[in-house]
């Protein structure tokens, strides 16, 4: 099973082979995304070990969303020992988010 993940916006896009699923989650993505992926894998009568490769939309997009997604796909690819690709089909050992601009980091108040 091929897994595609896009967390670059408030709507997470997950593809398992040719089936596409979406989940809105601006404030709870970090908490709920693994549960969402697991539920959809189970809906397809599969389990984590059935994933044969991962493609991740690495950006540009939401700073936090891309960081969450990259952490998930990097961990899954490493632990399942499967190939990891970006949206352009380039294989990566570790995928880094492409934010499209410098991070908007607030200056400390103190």
**21-49 mean pLDDT:** 94
Distance CA 67, CA 50 (A): 25
CB atoms near residue 90 (< 10 Å): 10
**18-31 mean pLDDT:** 92
Indicate the pLDDT class of residue 26, thresholds 50, 70 and 90.
Answer: confident
Residues of the chain above pLDDT 70, percent: 98
**DSSP states along 16-84:** ETTEEEEEE-TTTHHHHHHHHHHHHHHHTT--GGG--EEEE---SS-HHHHHHHHHHHHHHHHHHT--E
Each residue of 67-98: pLDDT tens digit?
A: 999 999 999 999 999 999 999 999 999 999 99
Which pLDDT value is given to residue 103? 65
20 forms bridges with which residues in the sheet? 15
């Amino acid at each position: 099973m091929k897994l595609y993940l896009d967390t670059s916006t408030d709507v997470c896009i997950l593809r398992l082979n040719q089936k596409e699923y979406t989940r809105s989650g601006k404030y709870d993505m970090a908490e709920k995304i693994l549960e969402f992926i697991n539920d959809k894998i189970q809906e397809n009568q599969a389990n984590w070990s059935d994933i044969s490769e991962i493609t991740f939309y690495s950006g540009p997009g939401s700073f936090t969303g891309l960081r969450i997604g990259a952490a998930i796909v990097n961990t899954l690819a490493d632990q399942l020992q499967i190939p990891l690709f970006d949206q352009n089909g380039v294989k990566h050992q570790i995928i880094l988010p492409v934010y499209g601009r410098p991070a908007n980091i607030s200056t400390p108040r103190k």
